[in-house]
Chain A
């Protein structure tokens, strides 16, 4: 019974949030100073043509009917056509999204693999050199513009040192050789056994993923540190030490084990914010993902595409929040009651 109520409440909240999201995008779409009718018919159209298109778009209806119409269209997956590609926006997004997922996932993996141990180290050595170093690294991550760091990374690691491949996802020689299965190049190349393509794709991914991963690292290490500090103050830690449990076990098993549940929430949130950071990073690295699609459409005043992308990213964001919430309830017995 309780579970049913809880599930129902979660679903209602979810529906309300998505409704709110769509209402916001509707309002944003209405704010546009460009007359959508004029954009279609051109400014030398006859008044009757203008009026007909206006009616077709439903702009003569009262505003609440327009809202309903908009909701109906969006919920059935119709985001309109992109002026830039001529394709339905949803098809475009499906094509570009895997690139963003690949980038954000690689970045999150980096952030977790480095950020968690750094946070633990900082907490154990609180107030000492290691702690200060981690803190400075985190502060820099919070303060530096991601697109600028990306540009500087390109100058240093691509142009000067030649350690990584340049902008884009693949070298020109390798393009279109691979049949997309998942859309994630690394996975597709590995599945096809094309290791040369794999290496090239990895070379292209390394720098943008490291730049984004750094931001995820800054956040994750900071949160890990504060969770660990709280745990290390608990009495069970003292008990474990007193009864002779080795220190590494106290830290990495007992204390860190109890931080894992809140950390999952942190990782989910940072994944969401990486999708956001991807907008600027993808622009810098000419990475053909959703973020670049949004910004390119933006320059062409292609609001269908911009709002479609916004809705998709917003939904992923909401989904991640929900997922972390559910995992939290599932894993933490205290939150289950």
Chain B
């Protein structure tokens, strides 16, 4: 057993850092024991690698047209075939990974903090603040998400920024609900009372004590939701409300392959398979994380 391993496995941690590292190590051990979750992690990592290394993996330009080579079936030359403008589908899917990752990344960065803030503030302060914020959340929850996103994206006009905004506006309420529920269970804890007695301000208690405890369940939920976000984004793209041509957005690629689907099925099939694999990856990863981080809901 190496020294590092011994340090990680020690019965009594001697520092805060060691205790944290041990907790992470144990979580990783539990996670590693779940083959489905590992597969999910692999798929998600693959998405990141493909997105980062797109110029080297793609081999060709995703937007360069070659009308002599349109609608070719998969071959050694064009691994996944070519589309109606003779563009290489493999190259387009590889570059499209960047778009997918960008959408997911920005939505998460907006939705997580907003949901956490609304939920913890409502749960911690209670009273009329709670009532107002939760009513608002309920109204958004009562709305079918995709349709709201559709209407919003339609009103703002097609484009990737507007699609991201539309998804974010419709995606935050469940996190507010979740964070509020978590906050309610810890609001009356002794350690919160202790922090108050020590004179900690409300923002300090919220950010330093409440938010970190809500983080685990919010992260799990985000990972599980990632697939939904990707599917919504693809749906908006399919309807022409997402990234605009010639950008290689997966949903839009399916839409343009639609008219050839009966004879040249690969044009629509390949990007759909990419969407499927990526959301499957996030779903598997989310399930695994939930088992590790959130044993009470297991």
Enumerate chain B interface residues (CB-CB to A < 8 A): 135-136, 138-140, 142-148, 150-152, 154-157, 227, 231, 234-235, 238-241, 251, 254, 258, 261-262, 265, 268-269, 272, 275-276, 279-280, 282-284, 287
Enumerate chain A interface residues (CB-CB to B < 8 A): 13, 16-17, 20-21, 24-25, 28-29, 31-33, 139-140, 142-149, 151-152, 154-155, 159, 272-273, 275-277, 279-280, 283-284, 294-295, 298-299, 301, 303, 306-307, 309-310, 313-314, 317-318, 321
A303 to B145, CA, bound (A): 18
Given A31-B156, A295-B239, A151 and B268 contact (CB-CB distance below 8 Å): yes
A245 to B275, CA, bound (A): 48
Judge whether A317 and B258 touch: CB under 8 Å: no
A45 to B155, CA, bound (A): 24
Please name all residues of chain A whose beta carbon is closer than 8 Å to the beta carbon of B239 when the two chains form the complex: 280, 283, 295, 298
Judge whether B261 and A33 touch: CB under 8 Å: no
Seed contacts A152-B268, A307-B151; 7 additional CB < 8 Å A-B pairs: A31-B152, A143-B279, A145-B251, A148-B268, A148-B272, A273-B144, A313-B147
19 A-B pairs (CB sep. < 8 Å) = A24-B148, A31-B156, A143-B280, A144-B272, A144-B276, A145-B234, A147-B238, A151-B254, A151-B272, A272-B144, A279-B146, A279-B150, A280-B146, A283-B238, A303-B155, A306-B151, A310-B151, A317-B142, A317-B143
Interface centre among B146, B227, B258 (most CB of A within 10 A): B146
A194 to B164, CA, bound (A): 48
Judge whether B147 and A294 touch: CB under 8 Å: yes
A301 to B136, CA, bound (A): 28
Pick the contact of B138: A17, A139, A155, A294 (CB < 8 A).
Answer: A17
Name the distance in Å between B18's Cβ and chain A's nearest Cβ.
35
Given A145-B275, A152-B269, A276-B145, A25 and B151 contact (CB-CB distance below 8 Å): yes
Please name all residues of chain B whose beta carbon is closer than 8 Å to the beta carbon of A310 when the two chains form the complex: 147-148, 150-151
A149 to B276, CA, bound (A): 10
Given A17-B142, A143-B283, A272-B144, A28 and B155 contact (CB-CB distance below 8 Å): yes
Given A143-B227, A143-B280, A303-B154, A155 and B147 contact (CB-CB distance below 8 Å): no
Please name all residues of chain A whose beta carbon is closer than 8 Å to the beta carbon of B140 when the two chains form the complex: 24
Which residue of the partner chain B has the closest CB to A280?
B235
Which residue of the partner chain A has the closest CB to B255?
A147
Which residue of the partner chain A has the closest CB to B271?
A148
Name the distance in Å between A79's Cβ and chain B's nearest Cβ.
13
Cβ-closest 3 pairs across A and B: A20-B139, A148-B272, A143-B280
Please name all residues of chain B whose beta carbon is closer than 8 Å to the beta carbon of A276 when the two chains form the complex: 144-147
Which residue of the partner chain B has the closest CB to A158?
B262
Judge whether A145 and B235 touch: CB under 8 Å: yes
Please name all residues of chain A whose beta carbon is closer than 8 Å to the beta carbon of B269 when the two chains form the complex: 148, 152
Name the distance in Å between A26's Cβ and chain B's nearest Cβ.
11
Please name all residues of chain B whose beta carbon is closer than 8 Å to the beta carbon of A275 when the two chains form the complex: 144
Pick the contact of A139: B154, B275, B280 (CB < 8 A).
Answer: B280
Please name all residues of chain B whose beta carbon is closer than 8 Å to the beta carbon of A306 when the two chains form the complex: 150-151, 154-155
Pick the contact of A294: B150, B231, B238, B280 (CB < 8 A).
Answer: B150
Judge whether B135 and A20 touch: CB under 8 Å: yes
Judge whether A20 and B145 touch: CB under 8 Å: no
Name the distance in Å between B99's Cβ and chain A's nearest Cβ.
15
Please name all residues of chain A whose beta carbon is closer than 8 Å to the beta carbon of B287 when the two chains form the complex: 139
A13 to B268, CA, bound (A): 45
A266 to B251, CA, bound (A): 29
Pick the contact of A159: B155, B258, B262, B279 (CB < 8 A).
Answer: B262
Pick the contact of A140: B156, B275, B280 (CB < 8 A).
Answer: B280
Please name all residues of chain A whose beta carbon is closer than 8 Å to the beta carbon of B238 when the two chains form the complex: 145, 147, 280, 283
Judge whether A29 and B147 touch: CB under 8 Å: no
Please name all residues of chain B whose beta carbon is closer than 8 Å to the beta carbon of A146 when the two chains form the complex: 231, 235
Name the distance in Å between A185's Cβ and chain B's nearest Cβ.
24
Please name all residues of chain B whose beta carbon is closer than 8 Å to the beta carbon of A145 when the two chains form the complex: 231, 234-235, 238, 251, 254, 272, 275-276, 279
Please name all residues of chain A whose beta carbon is closer than 8 Å to the beta carbon of B240 when the two chains form the complex: 299
Judge whether A28 and B151 touch: CB under 8 Å: yes
Please name all residues of chain A whose beta carbon is closer than 8 Å to the beta carbon of B284 when the two chains form the complex: 139
Which residue of the partner chain A has the closest CB to B139?
A20
